[in-house]
Amino acid sequence: MEAEGFVRGPRMSADAPGGDGRVAGSPGEAEVRCLGKVIRAVPGRLVGTFSARIGVEKDLLAVQAPCYGFEADHYEALPQGASPRTHMLAGAAAGIMEHCLMYPVDCVKTRMQSLQPEPAARYRSVMGALWHIVRTEGILRPVRGLNITATGAGPAHALYFACYEKLKTTLGDAIHPGANSHLANGAAGCVATLLHDAAMNPAEVVKQRMQMFNSPHRGIVDCVSAVWRMEGIGAFYRSYTTQLTMNVPFQALHFVVYEYLQELLNPHRQYSPSSHMVSGALAGALAAAATTPLDVCKTLLNTQESLALRSLDSSRRISGLAHAVCTVYGLGGLPAFLRGARARVVYHVPSTAISWSVYEFFKYILTRHQHQKWTWEGDMEK
């Protein structure tokens, strides 16, 4: 017998105390065991009635049912019953951690994607660029704009992971019940990206303008007010369609590769930090490399790079993906679409590893806390 929402759930058994294991009609009390542990003693007559209904053998009553015992070995059976709030809290923690830890590398990536960099902002490597920025502009320069990124990453990733988990389960049950579906994973990742980018795009615009070399903005408030006053509110979503054009295939590829690697490295879907980190890193690297050209166009739309505009003798702002593609090609040809590719991969390998490992860890901790709460409430009802 399978209970809805626990298709891959662990087995729960009810055994009578005393060693004979015969539960049907046993007097006294029987023990309900889950994962080898005693969960609660129940009246023997109740177990006898239950066993008669499902027609089990006299030595064991075993059914697939919701099991509130908690062990790391059966971690992946638990998130199916986790609440959306759990996914949102874990997702917010993962997003903030990922962006904060990798922000200096993100700053380098933004600068290396510049189409017409100033002589003092031309870098050959990620570490060389970081050292040069710290030495010439100050130790805090690589983290300028970090606060607006953390503010946007929390709600964006909360929506992102909650939507992904819900749709992955719903579509997976419809497409391939009881098994992993790559189509469901990819589709869920695409839809989740719509919500993520809607929440994150304004923060992304401000962040990248603060990261540019010789940025004229003194701080976050100054940048927001200047963009609003000179370009209007639409400037905060000027790159939204380009962002989606980049992130939809990025996330589809990212989730499909991640889930596929989990099947290979973690076939039993246990809580395994090492497998989550390796799967996340490899999935992030592949997706980042494949979508670098679109990221170059997105950076150009967000920053409206002044030197690039002057080199084109154009006072008109760059708007839309087509305009950005033509501008990038006109200024640097096909190689320009790969600007910052190394920095982008270097950024995404650890960032996706951090994101998945932190997300799975907090999901594990929050679900365990939820289980302990259920156990406490059940004991209070006695």
Distance CA 329, CA 10 (A): 56
- As a whole number, mean pLDDT of residues 35-64 equals 40
Answering whether pTM is above 0.75, one says no
Residue 294: inside a domain: yes
Total number of domains constituting the chain: 2
Residue 275: inside a domain: yes
Rg (CA), the chain: 26
64 shares a domain with 199 = no
Q: Which residues contact 61 (CB under 8 A, 6 or more apart)?
A: 13, 14, 15, 23, 47, 50, 51, 54
Q: Which residues contact 226 (CB under 8 A, 6 or more apart)?
A: 216, 217
15 shares a domain with 124 = no
Structural domain that includes position 329: 82-373
Q: Which residues contact 151 (CB under 8 A, 6 or more apart)?
A: 203
146 shares a domain with 33 = no
Confidence at residue 46, expressed as pLDDT on a 0 to 100 scale: 39
Between 183 and 305, whose confidence is greater? 183
Domain boundary among 69, 96, 117: 69
Cβ–Cβ under 8 Å, residues 23 and 14? yes
220 shares a domain with 108 = yes
- Per-residue pLDDT band for 265 (boundaries 50, 70, 90) equals very high
339 shares a domain with 315 = yes
* pLDDT tens profile 212-224: 888 888 889 999 9
- Per-residue pLDDT band for 92 (boundaries 50, 70, 90) equals very high
126 shares a domain with 55 = no
260 shares a domain with 131 = yes
202 shares a domain with 251 = yes
94 shares a domain with 125 = yes
Cβ burial 240-251 (10 Å sphere, 16+ → b, else e): bebbbbbbbbbb
With a cut of 70, say whether residue 146 has pLDDT above it.
yes
* pLDDT tens profile 334-368: 999 998 899 899 999 999 999 999 988 888 888 77
Residue 125: inside a domain: yes
Q: Which helix (H) or strand (E) holds 69?
A: none
CATH value at residue 171: 1.50.40.10
Residue 327: inside a domain: yes
* pLDDT tens profile 235-246: 899 888 888 888
Q: Which residues contact 23 (CB under 8 A, 6 or more apart)?
A: 14, 15, 16, 30, 44, 47, 48, 51, 58, 60, 61
Residue 6: inside a domain: no
With a cut of 80, say whether residue 114 has pLDDT above it.
yes
21 shares a domain with 110 = no
With a cut of 80, say whether residue 14 has pLDDT above it.
no
First-residue to last-residue Cα distance in the chain: 27
100 shares a domain with 40 = no
Give 225-241 as a 3 state SS string: HHHHHHHCHHHHHCCHH
* pLDDT tens profile 65-76: 333 344 443 434
310 shares a domain with 216 = yes
- As a whole number, mean pLDDT of residues 134-146 equals 91
Confidence at residue 154, expressed as pLDDT on a 0 to 100 scale: 94
Closest CA to 153 of 99, 107, 205: 99
Distance CA 382, CA 377 (A): 9
Distance CA 126, CA 128 (A): 5
With a cut of 70, say whether residue 116 has pLDDT above it.
yes
Distance CA 76, CA 283 (A): 20
Confidence at residue 352, expressed as pLDDT on a 0 to 100 scale: 92
Confidence at residue 202, expressed as pLDDT on a 0 to 100 scale: 93
**Residue keyed to tokens 């710290």:** 134
Residue 74: inside a domain: no
Q: What is the overall mean pLDDT for the chain? A: 77
Residue 4: inside a domain: no
